[in-house]
Amino acid sequence: MTGITLAVPSKGRLEELTREWFAARGLTISRPGGARSYLGVMEGEPDVTVRFFPASEIARELIRGNIDIGVTGRDLIHETSETGPDSVHFARPLEFGHADVVIAVPEAWIDVTHLHDLADVASDFRSRHKRWLRIATKYITITRQHFARAGIAEYRIVESLGATEAAPASGVADIVVDITSTGSTLAANGLRVLDDGVMLKSEANLIVSRTADWPGEKKKKLNSLLTQLAAEPL
Amino acid sequence: MTNAAMRRAQLEALVEAQGGCRATPPLLLPADPYFDLAGEEFGRRLLLTADLTGAEHCLRPEFTLPIVRDYIADGTRQPAAFTYLGPIFRQRETGPAEFDQAGIELLAQTNGEVALDQVFTFARAALSIYGLPTRIRLGGVGLFEALLVQADMPAAWRPRIRHRFGHTEAMERLLARLEAAPDAPRQEQPARDVLIEDVTARMVSSGLSLSEGRTPEEIADRYLEQQALDAAHVPAQTLKLLRDYLAISGDVLSALRQIEALAESHKLMLGAPIRAIRRHLDKLGEAQVSFDAGFSPRLDYYTGIVFEMTGRNGAVLASGGQYDRLLERLGATAPIAASGCALWVDRLEAEVSA
C-alpha cells in the first residue's frame, strides 16, 4: 500500500477553508458524491484518497494511525490523548481556525488575575464551601495536564459539551476552560480570561500521523506532497 | 514451584503474618470519594464506568481509602491493623492497567512512631523476599511544617507556601515571585463595604449566585488580603532559609546535620521532628537511607514522616508514611493516627528478573 489517506473536515467553514487552502496551492479537492459523500479525490493525485471526517475524529484517527495525514485543530490533538502530540507531526499551520484554550473566571472575582491566585482559591475552597472548585470544560485532558503543571490539584471537572460559558451563571461550575478566538462570548457572559490563562494557542494544522505505516515509497510520496505544500517533511 | 511463585507465596505469608485483619474491599467502588480525596490528578488514573443511574464507579485503584472508610463507618476508634494483597487498576503510560499491590494500614495506634517502625519492618521484609537491598528516601512533612510555623513571614503566606510543598516547580515559581516582589508604595485601599458592594453588583449583573459559590465577602476579603500581601514582604532572609532548606538532599545523617545547622543559625526549634527521624534511623540499621527536604506526596493529609523505597533506576517499590489527617478528611470526627505503606508487587518482581 503506497496510497496516502488525507482526512479533511467534513462540514462547515473548516471544510471550505481547507479546500480553498489546498486549491490555492494547485491541489483541488472535489467531492464527487456531493456533501453527503465521505469520499473525495484530489485532482491529479491518484495516490491520494480524500476522506471527509468530523474534526475531532480526524484527531483520533491520526493518533491511532488509521489515517495518514489530515487537517484539524491543534487543540483536538492535545485533547484527544495525553500522548497525542507525540503521535503526530505538525507539518504546518494553515493560518485559519485560530483559537485559544483559556481559563476564565467570573469577572466579579477581582482578586483572581493569575493562575497562582486560582491555586490559592482552589486550595481552601473545600474547607469554605464543602465541595471542590468546579471547572466546566470539554477540554478535560488539556485542563488536567495544565493544572497539574501549575500545581493545582484541588478541583473537579464538570464535563460540558456546549455553552460552557454559561456554566458559572447556571451554577454548574465556578469557572470555565473554553476555546475562544476573540474572547467576546466569554466577556458577554461576565467571564474574564486570566492574565496567564492561555493554556494552548490553536489553529488548523496539516498533520501527519507518526503511528501510521510509512514504508519507503509511501514516505517519499508524502514528503514530495508536503514539499509542494511548503510543509515540513516527515 | 518457580522462583517467582515462591516469592509470591512468601509475600502472601508476610501479609498474613502481620497480626492484622486481611482486608478485601470490593473491586468495584464508587468513584466520587476518590475524586473528593485526591482530585482530578489522581482521578485521571482511574478506570471508570457508570451504572444505569449514571452514578460513576471505578475499578479499585488502591486499598487505603476503602479500608479506612469501612473503619470509620464501624465507629470503633480502637487500634486496628489491616493488610492487603490483590489487584488494583490504574491507567498507566506503560504496563498493564491491572497489577497487584500489597500493603499495611495501622490505624489509631497508641504510639504513631512505633506504628511507623512496624510499617518500615513490613516493607523491608517484603524487599528481602525479593532479595533487594533497602534504599529508603525519607521526607519530613512534620519537619517542614515546624520550620514554616517558626519562619519569619506574614502569616497569610504560610498556607500558600505549605500548599506548594512537594511540587518543586510550583514552589520554585512562588519563591521566585516572592523574591522579585517590587517595593511598590502601598496604595490606598478601598473600604471593605465598598468593595463588597462592587463585587455584588458584578455578580448580580452576570447572573451569579451570591451564596452557592464564592461570596462577595470572601472575594473582597481575599482581594484586600492579596493587596496587603503584596505589600507585606517575606523577608529575604526567610526566602533564603526556605531555599537552603528545600535544597537539602542526600545521606540522611549529613542532611540532618545541615538542617540542625540551619535551625541554629535561624534560631528555629526543630529538635522534636529531627529526633523523631533519628529514632527511626536506629531501627533501620543497615539500610541505605537518604533524606530529601523537598520530598512529600502532594496530598495534604500526610503528616510526620513519609518515605519511598526504591530499586535500581529509582523505580518506587514501596511508598508510605504517616497520614494522621486522612481519617478526618474521610469523615472521622476526631483526629486518628494512621500510617502504612503500599508495595508495587510487579516492580518488585521486575527488579529480580532485571
* Domain segments of chain B as ranges: 3-132+311-353, 137-168+235-292, 192-231
CB B40 within 8 A of CB B82: no
The string of pLDDT tens digits covering residues B288-312 is: 999 999 999 988 899 999 999 999 8
Dihedral in degrees, nearest 10, Cα atoms B323, B325, B329, B334:
130
* Contact criterion met (CB < 8 Å) for A132 and B36: yes
Q: Measure B228 CA to nearest chain A CA, in Å.
A: 12
Preferred mutation among A105, A111, A158 to probe B, highest tally of B CBs within 10 A: A111
Output the pLDDT for position B14: 94
Chain A: closest CA distance from residue B315 (Å): 21
Going through chain B in order, the beta strands assigned E by DSSP cover 21-22, 28-30, 48-50, 56-59, 80-89, 98-107, 135-140, 249-251, 288-292, 303-310, 316-322, 338-344
Any chain A CB within 8 A of the CB of B294? Answer: no
**Average pLDDT for runs of 10 along chain A of length 234:** 86 90 91 80 88 92 95 94 92 92 95 92 87 94 92 90 90 94 88 94 95 92 92 90
> Which chain A positions have a beta carbon within 8 Å of B205's beta carbon?
190
Nearest to B212 among A149, A156, A171 (CB): A171
- The answer to whether the Cβ–Cβ distance between B159 and A169 falls below 8 Å is no
Contact A32, A41 (CB under 8 A): yes
> The C-alpha cell of B184 is what?
511598590
Provide the pLDDT confidence category of residue B186 given band limits of 50, 70 and 90. Answer: low
For the domain spanning A99-201, the CATH number is 3.40.190.10
CB contact under 8 A, A119 and B163: yes
Alpha carbons B281 and B326: distance in angstroms, whole number: 25
- Residue A158 φ then ψ, to 5°: -110, 115
Q: How far is A120 from chain B (nearest CA, A)?
A: 7
Assigned C-alpha cell, A181: 478566538
- pLDDT tens for B191-248 read 888 899 999 989 988 888 888 899 999 999 999 888 877 777 889 999 999 999 999 9
Indicate the domain borders of chain A: 4-98+203-228, 99-201
Q: Is A4 helix (H, G, I), strand (E, B) or coil?
A: strand
Give me the CATH topology for the region B3-132+311-353: BirA Bifunctional Protein; domain 2 (3.30.930)
In A127-180, which ranges are E strands?
133-137, 155-159, 175-180
Answer whether A4-98+203-228 and A99-201 agree in fold. yes
Measured CA to CA, the distance from residue A58 to residue A8 in angstroms comes to 8
Q: Are B206 and A108 in contact (CB under 8 A)?
A: yes
Across the interface, which of B177, B213, B220 has its CB nearest the CB of A174? Answer: B213
Q: Which residue of A110, A119, A168 is in closest CB contact with B208? A: A168
- Which amino acid makes up residue B234? V
Longest dimension (CA), chain A: 65
Between chains, do A120 and B160 touch, taking CB under 8 Å as contact?
yes
Q: Which residues pair with B20 in a beta bridge?
A: none
A chain contacts of residue B155, beta-carbon cutoff 8 Å: none
List the one residue out of B206, B56, B122 whose CA is nearest residue A176: B206
Tell me the CATH number of domain A4-98+203-228, given options 3.30.470.30, 2.160.10.10, 3.40.190.10, 3.30.450.20: 3.40.190.10
State the residue for C-alpha cell 510520496: A221
B184 has a pLDDT exceeding 70: no
User: What backbone torsions phi and psi does residue A92 show, to the nearest 5 degrees?
Assistant: -170, 150
CA nearest to A110, candidates B223, B227, B197, B196: B223
Cell of A224: 514530495
Q: Is ipTM > 0.95 here?
A: no
